[in-house]
Amino acid sequence: MGTSFINKDFGIDLGTANTLVYVKGKGITVRESSYVAKNNYSGEIVAVGDEAKRMIGRTPENISIIRPMKDGVIADFHTTAAMMNYYIRKVVNTKSLFNRKPKVIVGVPSGITMVEERAVLDATRQAGAKEVYTISEPFAAAIGAGLPVWEPTGSMIVDIGGGTTEVSIISLGGTVTSRSLRMAGDQMDHQIVQYIRKKYGLLIGDSTAEKLKLELASARKTEENDMMKIKGRDLVTGLPHTISVSNEELVDAIRSIINRIVEAVKQAMEEAPPELSSDIVERGIMLTGGGAKLLYLDEVISEEVDIPVSVSDHPLDCVAVGTGRALEKIDYFKNTPNVSERNIES
């Protein structure tokens, strides 16, 4: 990458689990985990992104692995700023940061508070941006998924990320109604860890839980009811132990989260004006985010609300692509706040 990148503007999907950077005119150029390895004594950043994630469970006592984002918002301001600085420098590939500091649009949860939004703006400026604007993640996801967000028709998006599930109805370039549920992929991992601990007395790590979620879990039981062997630490003996876990068990483990997501969809539909409701019944609901890849989730939601549900072709990229395309309408975001009404659920 040459100096032609220096004058490019950016869209950033600053997610709880992953960070993606979209460069105007180039597309997604950075796709890494939202992890930072930090020296506990000096405060020095040792590693960022995928490199830091690979260190989980393998670090000496002087190094901690931090996820500076929690539930889609900044939990550790200085570490987040350092992480963003790293990603932007990686895109620019130059030691002197910018000849012309870029304009940046950052995707944030629709339920973000004013204080949390200010932290995102400040961290992005500290990382080297000149102008920073926020866009709600479901609105960005809808743009990225190719929905007609600027037209006078209702579009419904369900964006299931690592920290938050965003359910929004969008029309005429704005959010009509929204539910922000701080329960998504990370909470599924947590529920799997707790289930295995309670049923088998076995302690497993987050990475093992994530693997179970990605490779074996589903929103309802599969016909095959596949099994997977996993290793963990027996809580009684303290020794390593191997067990086999079934698909049906994982369905039970995450059922409460699936039910909450379905309930959020129903509530958003109940709050929608009748004209937009009829649009959604006709057009269907779009799923985006990593959670959208959960097997049978689209079918389960569709059966519960009696509306067609589809999964975006590239669900993990939708928010990042949406922030990038939003750069083309930068004046709109200067004059119109697109972080919707602040409706947060825990």
pLDDT digits (tens, 9 = 90+) for 148-170: 999 999 999 999 999 899 999 99
Mean pLDDT over 50-75 rounds to: 89
Map out the domains of the chain with their CATH numbers. Answer: 3-139+320-345 (3.30.420.40), 146-183+256-316 (3.30.420.40), 185-253 (3.90.640.10)
What does the radius of gyration of the chain's CA atoms come to, in whole angstroms? 21
Residue whose tokens read 């609300």? 305
Alpha-carbon distance of 280 to 157, in angstroms, equals 10
Distance of CA 13 to the CA centre of its chain: 8
User: pLDDT value at position 5?
Assistant: 42
pLDDT grade for 8, boundaries at 50, 70 and 90 = confident
Alpha-carbon distance of 223 to 271, in angstroms, equals 36
93: number of Cβ within 10 Å: 12
Alpha-carbon distance of 45 to 78, in angstroms, equals 11
Mean pLDDT over 60-75 rounds to: 88
pLDDT in tens, 225-237: 999 999 999 999 9
> At residue 340, does pLDDT exceed 50?
no
Mean pLDDT over 218-247 rounds to: 96
CB-based contacts of 224, cutoff 8 Å, min separation 6: 247
Question: What's the whole-model pTM score?
Answer: 0.88
